Structures are given as structure tokens and as C-alpha cells.
Amino acid sequence: MHPDTHALIVIDVQNDFCPGGALAVDGGDQIVPGINALMEDFSAIVLTQDWHPFGHSSFASEHPGAAPMSVVEFPYGPQVLWPDHCIQSSPGAAFHADLNTVAADLIIRKGFRPAIDSYSAFFENDHETPTGLEGYLRTRGIMRLTMVGLATDFCVKFSAVDAARLGFDVTVQMDLCRAIDLDGSLAAAVDEMKAAGVTLA
């Protein structure tokens, strides 16, 4: 059992990121049994949930003529335009049916502001609007984080890099993550995480 100061952060294990979902990640469902087993070693467990309003600005469908997975400039920088996914209250936004959600102490939702996307569990994509997770972890005395989930090269990477910058000791357990891998984004994410001081296990 890990000490109370070490939390497991489970990123976006939701139906839309699993096979059959709107933004399916190859093998996204394969990591669920391993994540459930890993939960037994932690006394502090946080789940994140991508939670977009209908018509979110990150959806390609809101940008006439733009193809899903194309990149456009937003006020805060480049933004990938995604297929509609994880719409609040839709089945796609629900956690994978086999994920142990009972074990979670906190479920943190992100991406609910219509004009800003949110990959990281800590900050929206403007890199300044906080989700509140940092305060939650610090007030519980948590200093170490193990991260798993979807997708390695987007939400997991942004969460891990932000956490390392905030001073947490971060490990990403790569065998319990799966990637979208858009134009080499997985290799780039690995490099960025290593450069930020994240341990890849």
C-alpha cells in the first residue's frame, strides 16, 4: 500500500475514448482491469472526466469547413478540432462500465467552459485557469502522483507535465495508458514528459 501522500490519478477512462466511442483510442478499454487492480494499492484516488457542453468550441462541428483532427488558432494558441465527444450526460461521457468508480475520492470534471478546452487535470488549455485539483491534493498533503489513463499524448501528458511543474513527484505508468498518436504526438509527448522530469514506468 502506498502512503496517504501518494495519489493515483486516473485520466478520462470514458466510453468516448474507448473502442466504439466518438474519439476512440486503440485499446483504450484494455487498460481498465489493470487500473482497477492498481487502485487496491492506493488510499487516495482521483478520477478525471472530460465534460463538454453541447457545441463546445473544440468540436470541429462548430467550425464550418474544418475537418476533425485539424488544428486552428485559438486565443490561447493552437487547438486540435475534435469530433464531438464527452458531451455532458451523454453515454460517451460516462466512465467505462467496468472502471471501479466506487474507489474514487474525487471526480474532477474539465472542459466545461464553452470557449476553452481542457486537457490537463490542473489547468485549462489557456494554461492559467485552474481546475482546483492542485489545491485539493495539497490540502490533503499529497506530494507524489501516479498517472494512468487516456490519452497518453493529450490529457495524460498535459496533466503529468503540469503536475511536475507544480512540484509534484510524478510517475506515468505507460502500460496503463493508450495514445491517440496524431502526427507523431506520442513520441513528442514522451520527450516532453521526460524533459519535465516525469518518470515513465
Choosing from 9, 38, 46, 155, the residue that interacts with ligand VGL (CB under 6 A) is 155
Q: Is 157 a catalytic residue?
A: no
Q: Is 181 a catalytic residue?
A: no
124 contacts Zn ion (rule: CB under 5 A): no
Nearest to 45, CA basis, from 10, 75, 72, 18 = 10
Half-sphere exposure of 86 (CA within 13 A, CB side): 27
Least distance between ligand VGL and beta carbon 151 (Å): 4
Q: Is 155 a catalytic residue?
A: yes
Choosing from 10, 154, 189, 198, the residue that interacts with ligand VGL (CB under 6 A) is 154
The residue written with cell numbers 476553452 in the block is 116
82 contacts ligand VGL (rule: CB under 6 A): yes
Half-sphere exposure of 198 (CA within 13 A, CB side): 31
50 contacts Zn ion (rule: CB under 5 A): yes
For residue 199, count CB atoms less than 10 angstroms from its CB and return exposed for 0-12, middle for 13-18, buried for 19 or more: middle
Which of these is catalytic: 18, 29, 117, 155?
A: 155
Write out the residues near Zn ion by the rule CB under 5 A: 50, 111
Q: Any idea which residues carry the catalytic annotation?
A: 12, 110, 155
